[in-house]
């Protein structure tokens, strides 16, 4: 096959980019190593910034999201026996967030892609990308036991941290800046209505906890655990007791409990690959950067990446100008590092490090009290959490 843009990876970033390129008249092909069922079941983030919601609507993928997504006007910080609500619209000029699982975003985009978009090939395992620094890169892949190739003008890597494209640039041409964290998230899905109408972020003497949801009837909850924790070592009773202790606060709020249907442990790390371009290869989403989940930035950063790429390829298609493509890496890295900073701030403020001394804990509480007592501090958090609207992907 031949195409203008070869997209490696059929997750939300690759699928959305294909949708946006199709709208701009730019030919593309998506290669995804997994089968459709696996991709649609892959559990990831569920918080969509206002800008992400607007982009999904603009590309025709917003109908079910608008019907089933849960719009949130705030989040709650719980600490030192206190509960403080951050009102997002008031502090950001009207921006909100929407709870709509990544699995549902992917299902919507796949349906659109298969119905009216450019080719989407599942079970197409990319084995190599050659000629990224030439005028005609080649993506080699294997499908149905047969080796094949996709000749492109450009390649976009949306295949995640462990994908092929991130390591295509030689070591001398890339730099990976990373940070690990000495704790993980123990996450559960439970068949019980959420205990709160909005997300609750808790700092407690026992560590961090987050109360979230997937729907009005399904709760998604997390709590901080040591790295290497085995989910099987915790009984359901122990999980609920630990969560209840971490969310404890003044007032009559109670944690709702129910059958736990899934459990997993999520290691946490930060990583940025610089630059996000090598010749005619561009990196987007997790292939370029990883953030800890505390700030709810991962999926939204990926959307902003592909919006910028869609604008850049659209400009090139319309008038032959490569200016936006040439600026892509520098433009996105500024935003990526802003998101890394916010995600690290949320993580380091809400979690307890192993053997953390009382001085460090008091500093965390001082920061949280400042957010609750200062409109300026609360607005800073709200603006970063709700996100900044990306440019119109369908505009010039």
CA-to-CA dists, residue 104 to 210, 333, 382, angstroms: 21, 28, 25
> What is the C-alpha to C-alpha distance for residues 31 and 123, in angstroms, rounded to an integer?
8
Q: Which residues pair with 219 in a beta bridge?
A: 190, 213
Catalytic residue among 203, 278, 289, 297: 297
Phi, psi of 245 (to 5 degrees): -70, -35
Give yes or no: 222 in active site: no
Active site residue 275: no
Is 385 a known active-site residue? yes
CA 394 to chain centre: 22
Contact between 347 and 292 (Cβ < 8 Å): yes
Choosing from 183, 201, 222, 328, the catalytic residue is 201
In sequence order, the 6+-apart residues with CB closer than 8 A to the CB of 330 are 275
Among 293, 328, 351, 393, the one annotated catalytic: 293
Vertex 48 angle, CA 317 and 98, to 5°: 130
Total Cβ atoms within 10 A of residue 47: 24
What is the spatial distance between Cα 343 and Cα 334, in angstroms, rounded to a whole number? Answer: 14
SS3 letters across 330-373: HHHHHHHHHHHHHHHHHHHHHCCCCCCCHHHHHHHHHHHHHHHH
Calpha distance 327→346 (Å, rounded): 29
Task: Assess whether 201 carries a catalytic annotation.
Answer: yes
Q: Among residues 22, 72, 203, 289, which one is catalytic? A: 72
Tell me whether residue 393 is one of the annotated catalytic residues: no
Q: Which residue has the tokens 């500093």?
A: 363
Pairwise CA distance, residues 272 & 291, whole Å:
9
Q: Which residues are CB-contacts of 100 (< 8 A; sequence separation ≥ 6)?
A: 46, 48, 65, 68, 69, 70
Contact between 64 and 108 (Cβ < 8 Å) = yes
Residues with active-site annotation: 72, 201, 293, 297, 385
């Amino acid at each position: 096959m031949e195409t203008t843009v070869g997209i490696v990876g059929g997750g939300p970033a690759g699928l959305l980019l294909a949708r946006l390129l199709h709208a701009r008249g730019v030919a593309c092909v998506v290669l995804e190593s997994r089968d459709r069922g696996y991709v649609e079941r892959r559990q990831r983030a569920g918080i969509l910034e206002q800008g992400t919601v607007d982009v999904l609507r603009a590309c025709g993928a917003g109908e079910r999201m608008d019907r089933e997504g849960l719009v949130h006007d705030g989040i709650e910080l719980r600490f030192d026996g206190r509960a403080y609500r951050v009102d997002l619209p008031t502090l950001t000029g009207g921006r909100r967030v929407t709870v709509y699982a990544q699995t549902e975003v992917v299902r919507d985009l796949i349906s659109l892609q298969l119905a009216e978009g450019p080719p989407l090939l599942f079970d197409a395992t990319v084995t190599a990308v050659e000629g990224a620094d030439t005028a005609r890169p080649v993506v080699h892949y294997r499908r149905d036991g047969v080796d094949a190739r996709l000749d492109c003008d450009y390649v976009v890597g949306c295949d995640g941290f462990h994908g092929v494209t991130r390591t295509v640039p030689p070591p001398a041409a890339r730099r990976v800046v990373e940070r690990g964290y000495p704790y993980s998230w123990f996450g559960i899905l439970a068949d019980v209505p959420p205990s709160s109408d909005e997300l609750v972020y808790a700092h407690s003497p026992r560590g961090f906890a987050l109360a979230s949801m997937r729907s009005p009837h399904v709760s998604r909850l997390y709590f901080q655990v040591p790295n290497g924790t085995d989910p099987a070592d915790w009984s359901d009773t122990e999980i609920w007791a630990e969560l209840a202790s971490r969310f404890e606060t003044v007032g009559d709020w109670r944690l709702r409990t129910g059958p736990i249907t899934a459990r997993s442990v999520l290691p946490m790390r930060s990583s940025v690959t610089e630059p996000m371009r090598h010749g005619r290869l561009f990196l987007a989403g997790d292939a370029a950067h990883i953030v800890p989940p505390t700030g709810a930035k991962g999926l939204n950063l990926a959307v902003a990446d592909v919006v910028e790429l869609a604008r850049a390829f659209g400009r090139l298609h319309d008038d032959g100008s490569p200016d936006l493509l040439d600026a892509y890496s520098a433009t996105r890295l500024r935003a990526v590092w802003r998101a890394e900073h916010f995600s690290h701030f949320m993580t380091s403020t809400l979690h307890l490090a192993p053997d953390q001394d009382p001085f460090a804990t008091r500093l965390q509480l001082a920061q949280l009290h400042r957010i609750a007592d200062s409109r300026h501090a609360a607005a800073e958090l709200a603006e970063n959490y709700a996100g900044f609207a990306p440019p119109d992907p369908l505009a010039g």
